[in-house]
């Protein structure tokens, strides 16, 4: 029997340091590789700056073990944690971004929906981190969520990115994208990739699916945002990188592409953004 080698997917956003994986992290990563996931970007925000290094620690613990996806890390201060973005935290972020495995700064951004920190504090915290990421030449991972039915957070994010980020040419990822077409188009214009998560599969997400259906193949990524946002039919369960294939399949249907074409495109996009060699899964 001929073995069929299918192109590998990359989960561009997973919180592998979540305590919800404490009991089975290696088994969870083995399942991911068996499901065709060649690499995972492990998000280094923890529960605040004190835990920003945990994603890097996980990379170093698991990279090189057989049968697992290749792991990369990020580091950043989440919008809710920006009140903790003091000089020590920013120094720690800068040191983490200097590490070769830490390929991105994030997730950073603005969250006016939960408003876990005052908006002005969020904006200042974002700008400080953009300055550090620019100096370290690391693309950024943007979390952006506005108040209901409003583009308030998006409008502020684009104001800040236009002023402080566009000229760096470093680009980034709009993680767990939830905006409209206008926000998607502006993201692409800024050199960003737009990453779709499990919420793309939810019944009420038709407006998001309509946006996804208009995306160019060279502008998309898929992610889990695990342990949150498990795609249908696993909604409500603990999410994990293996399940990113479900989101890729829905995206394939919307873009009238095959799942393999989505895997090829999203993996190429990820590798291009971070200037990585195409060796994932080898
Ligand atoms: Zn996240």
Q: What is the pLDDT of residues 163-186, one digit of tens each?
A: 999 999 999 999 999 999 999 999
Distance of CA 244 to the CA centre of its chain: 12
Say how far apart CA 165 and CA 201 lie, in whole Å: 31
- Weakest mean pLDDT among 47-61, 236-250, 268-282: 268-282
Q: Determine the average pLDDT of the residues in 95-112.
A: 98
Task: Work out the pLDDT band at 1, boundaries 50, 70, 90.
Answer: very low
Question: Tokens 């470093």 identify what position?
Answer: 170
CA distance 34 to 217: 25
Q: How many CA atoms lie within 13 A of 157 on its CB side?
A: 27
| Cβ atoms < 10 Å from Cβ of 120 | 9
- 107 CA to middle of ligand 1, Å? 6
Tokens 């919180």 locate to 15
Rounded to 5°, the CA angle 84-86-88 comes to 115
Distance (Å) from CA 264 to ligand 1 centroid: 23
What's the 5 CA to ligand 1 centre distance in angstroms?
30
| Residue ranges with CB less than 5 Å from ion ligand 1 | 225
CA of 48 to the centre of ligand 1 (A): 13
Rounded Cα gap, residues 101 and 20, in angstroms: 23
What is the whole-number distance in angstroms between the Cα of residue 4 and the centre of ligand 1? Answer: 33
How remote is the CA of residue 197 from the centroid of ligand 1, in Å? 10
pLDDT, tens digit, 9 for 90 and up, residues 127-152: 999 999 999 999 999 999 999 889 99
Q: Starting at the edge strand that comes first in sequence, how are the strands of the sheet with 220-222 ordered?
A: 9-14, 37-42, 70-75, 102-111, 140-145, 172-174, 192-196, 220-222
pLDDT at 251: 98
Query: Given pLDDT bands bounded at 50, 70 and 90, which one contains residue 61?
Result: very high
How far is ligand 1, taken at its centre, from the CA of residue 74, in Å?
Answer: 11
- Residue 277: band (very low, low, confident or very high) from pLDDT cuts 50, 70, 90: confident
- Its sign, for the CA torsion 20, 230, 78, 217, is positive
Max CA separation in the chain (angstroms): 61
């Amino acid at each position: 029997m001929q073995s069929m080698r299918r192109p590998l997917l990359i989960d561009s956003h997973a919180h592998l340091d979540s305590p919800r994986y404490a009991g089975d992290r290696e088994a969870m990563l083995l399942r991911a590789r068996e499901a065709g996931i060649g690499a995972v970007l492990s998000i280094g925000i923890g529960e605040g700056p004190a835990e920003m290094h945990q994603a890097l620690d996980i990379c170093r613990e698991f990279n090189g073990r057989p049968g697992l996806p290749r792991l990369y890390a990020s580091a950043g201060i989440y919008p809710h944690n920006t009140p903790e973005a003091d000089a020590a935290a920013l120094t720690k972020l800068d040191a983490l971004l200097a590490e070769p495995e830490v390929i991105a700064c994030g997730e950073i951004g603005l969250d006016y929906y939960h408003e876990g920190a005052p908006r002005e504090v969020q904006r200042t915290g974002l700008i400080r981190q953009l300055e550090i990421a620019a100096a370290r030449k690391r693309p950024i991972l943007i979390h952006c969520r506005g108040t209901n039915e409003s583009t308030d957070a998006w409008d502020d994010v684009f104001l800040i990115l236009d002023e402080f980020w566009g000229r760096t040419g470093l680009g980034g990822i709009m993680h767990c994208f939830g905006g409209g077409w206008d926000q998607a188009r502006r993201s692409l214009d800024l050199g960003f990739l737009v990453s779709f998560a499990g919420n793309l599969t939810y019944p009420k997400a038709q407006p998001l699916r309509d946006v996804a259906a208009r995306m160019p193949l060279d502008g998309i990524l898929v992610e889990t945002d695990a342990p949150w946002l498990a795609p249908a039919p696993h909604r409500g369960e603990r999410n994990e990188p293996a399940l990113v294939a479900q989101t890729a399949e829905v995206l394939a249907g919307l873009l009238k592409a095959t799942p393999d074409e989505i895997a090829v495109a999203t993996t190429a996009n990820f590798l291009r953004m971070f200037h990585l060699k195409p060796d994932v899964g080898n």
